[in-house]
Amino acid sequence: MKNQSYSHSVRAKPKIGVIVVDIQGDFTTWKKGSLAVEGTDKAFIDKVKKATAALKKKGCVMFATQDWHPADHISFFTNHSGKKAFEVIQIDGRTQVLWPPHCVQNTQNAKVLLDNKLFKAIVKKGKDRRFDSYSGFQDDGGAKTELDSLLKKQGIKEVIVYGIAADYCVKATAMDAVAAGYKVTVIEDLCKGVAPDTTAKALQEMKDKGIKIERELKI
């Protein structure tokens, strides 16, 4: 009994994980990205940088995701003859938005625009040409990334999620996190969405699944 209560009292406080989604040049107006999301100017990225540094300083365990596509990736409209950017098609029963080529492996604008040393890991996603991967946890073919096992290894039960794009990769990552049993908070003003209507819908869908939407970071 004595030992048991002692070991309990010294147990470390559960750590909070942070997942910073796809802060990459191609998604920003700042870097004139090929898939630049409105509002992603230098001021926005600076705000994300500040928040990320502050959360790290507070003791959170930091992770980033990085969209990392081969040049022949299925999500690029240029790899489908006769198709235009932002057209939506069906592939093997899945809905696929056709994007401008973006975040091509080893290109300048695929880099994560934050101090990479802040992160325990930067999880690459969308590497398989056959499948898109909005979620940091798994691709559309069901192949898991290392993210869930890395979080579990750290004993993390609660995550904070923010980044780009609110209506695609932030949403998918937060939804997979809550489905995997994590307590999830999304910080709204540290996110930008591709379009206002899909962003509003994404925020509502996340709330409906029990994800907490906080307007701004309070630390």
List active site positions: 22, 125, 169
69 close to 105: Cβ distance less than 8 angstroms: yes
Q: How far is CA 101 from CA 49, 144, 166, 173, 189, in A?
A: 26, 23, 19, 21, 27
| CB nearer Zn ion, residue 77 or residue 182 | 77
Residues 80-119, mask of contacts with ligand VGL (x by CB under 6 A):
-------------------x--------------------
């939804």: which residue's tokens? Answer: 175
Q: Do you find a cis peptide bond into 165, omega within 30 degrees of 0?
A: yes
Q: How far is CA 4 from CA 7, 13, 60, in A?
A: 5, 17, 27
109 close to 31: Cβ distance less than 8 angstroms: yes
* Residue 131 contacts ligand VGL per CB under 6 A: no
Residues 65-84 that bind Zn ion (CB under 5 A): 67
| CB nearer Zn ion, residue 40 or residue 185 | 40
| CB nearer Zn ion, residue 67 or residue 176 | 67
* Residue 67 contacts ligand VGL per CB under 6 A: yes
Choose the binding region for ligand VGL from 3-11, 51-59, 162-170, 196-204 (rule: CB under 6 A). 162-170
List residues binding ligand VGL (CB under 6 A): 22, 27, 67, 99, 134, 164-165, 168-169
